[in-house]
Amino acid sequence: MSLYRNVIWFLKGIHEYTRNGFEAASKNFEARDLDISVVGRSFMITGANSGIGKETAMAVAKKGGTVHMVCRNRERAEEARADIVRESGNTEVYVHVLDLSETGKVGEFAEAFRSQQRSLNVLINNAGCMVNKRDVNAMGLEMNFATNTLGMYILTEGLVPLLQNSRDPRVITVSSGGMLVQKLRADDLQSEQGGFDGTMVYAQNKRQQVELTGHWAKLHPAIHFSAMHPGWADTPAVSTSMPQFRQMMGDRLRSAEQGADTVVWLALSRVASKTASGTFFQDREAVPAHLPLAWTGSSAEEVQRFVDQLETLARATSSQTPHQETGDATCPRQTMTAATPAVQS
């Protein structure tokens, strides 16, 4: 079955996920969908210092939105912020420092942000990583899972109250078409069974994100949740984590701006907010979250078991983290950076 899934997925990718695929799909885009101002609306974007995250932050800033860049490296984030402010003319761009793999600190960050900000209209979960050799964070959690799934889960859960009290709230998760080859493994969240393949672990994390999107959509009907696939985009993270893939695909890869297009559309357009919550998107269209005959669907019981484990881990990591009175995990109103590199494939 795994061979079937991978072959079908790759053939689909060559046709749809490349630069040519984007150019073909974009012929059906409505330019007026993004003919909008978002002055007065606030957007949090994780992994916003490069690639798809930075392109998204730039697009939002150009439309007048307030941008909260959440990145793990302050220097790179400040450089990206300077670029965004210079090109957009919008100074309402703030840097927050947070490494999503440090799961114990994520809840503290969300709590601090929630207490200091009046609203958050859109959360864009873009940051991610692909660690190709098994590694763990300070709390013993597998690094890909800690960053891509648990950190994202804790952040989103922590910001739900703020989102619920904001106008037209949305949560967008940058997933990956690679998740199509994976069925949710509710009993092996940290990829401890069998050999460790970083690419497949990443794909499993992306399947986890899509399942969470559907779960949240049912749990929080006041918020519009969506996940999306950016296509095969040429980003710094892809160069670092998948150099052979990048070399093989060459100029067939999409630009980072093309990869970000659907994220921007989901974040800004009125049309997107009228679509069904919990949907998976590609090139501004709702698409199936499963390949035909791939048997990757999960039962409601499997999804709930998965979510229950996340909640248990989230509580455990929170209890193990000493409260920090000061430092980058807190969120001063004017000082904010997070850039766990986003790898989209």
Instruction: State the Cα–Cα distance between residues 43 and 67, nearest whole angstrom.
Output: 5
Q: What's the CATH superfamily of 2-320?
A: NAD(P)-binding Rossmann-like Domain (3.40.50.720)
String of DSSP letters for 315-331: HHHHHHSPPPSSSTTS-
Active-site residue set: 202
Per-residue pLDDT of the chain (345 residues), as tens digits, is 588 999 999 999 999 999 999 999 999 999 999 999 999 999 999 999 999 999 999 999 999 999 999 999 999 999 999 999 999 999 999 999 999 999 999 999 999 999 999 999 999 999 999 999 999 999 999 999 999 999 999 999 999 999 999 999 999 999 999 999 999 999 999 999 888 999 999 999 999 999 999 999 999 999 999 999 999 998 887 878 788 888 888 999 999 999 999 999 999 999 999 999 999 999 999 999 999 999 999 999 999 999 999 999 999 988 775 444 333 433 333 333 333 333 433
Q: Are strands 170-174 and 66-71 parallel, antiparallel or unpaired?
A: unpaired
Q: Is 52:233 a contact under the CB 8 Å cutoff?
A: yes
Sign of the alpha-carbon torsion through 148, 150, 153, 158? negative
Exposure string over 174-189, b if 16+ CB within 10 A, otherwise e: bbbbbbbbbbbbbeeb
Instruction: State the Cα–Cα distance between residues 96 and 152, nearest whole angstrom.
Output: 15
Q: Is 47:20 a contact under the CB 8 Å cutoff?
A: no
Tabulate helix, strand, coil % of the chain (nearest 5).
50, 10, 40
User: Could you count the other beta carbons within 10 Å of the beta carbon of residue 199?
Assistant: 16
Instruction: State the Cα–Cα distance between residues 340 and 144, nearest whole angstrom.
Output: 11
Instruction: State the Cα–Cα distance between residues 302 and 189, nearest whole angstrom.
Output: 12
Identify the residue whose tokens are 């200091």. 116
**What residues form DSSP beta bridges with 226?**
172, 279
Burial of 18 (0-12, 13-18, 19+ CB in 10 A): buried
Strands (E), the chain: 42-46, 66-71, 93-97, 122-125, 170-174, 224-229, 279-282, 285-286
Dihedrals φ, ψ of 136, to 5°?
-130, 155
Instruction: State the Cα–Cα distance between residues 26 and 23, nearest whole angstrom.
Output: 5
- What digits encode the pLDDT tens for the residues 275-311? 999 999 999 999 999 999 999 999 999 999 999 999 9
Collect all residues with Cβ–Cβ distance below 8 Å to 7 and sequence separation of at least 6. Answer: none
Q: Are strands 279-282 and 285-286 parallel, antiparallel or unpaired?
A: antiparallel
The two three-digit tokens of residue 298, written as one number: 């999960």
Among candidate residues 186, 226, 193, 189, the one with its CA nearest the CA of residue 210: 226
**CA 77 vs CA 80, 184, 210, 330, 335: distances in Å:** 5, 33, 27, 16, 11
**CA 142 vs CA 24, 109, 146, 283, 291: distances in Å:** 39, 21, 6, 31, 27
- What digits encode the pLDDT tens for the residues 76-100? 999 999 999 999 999 999 999 999 9
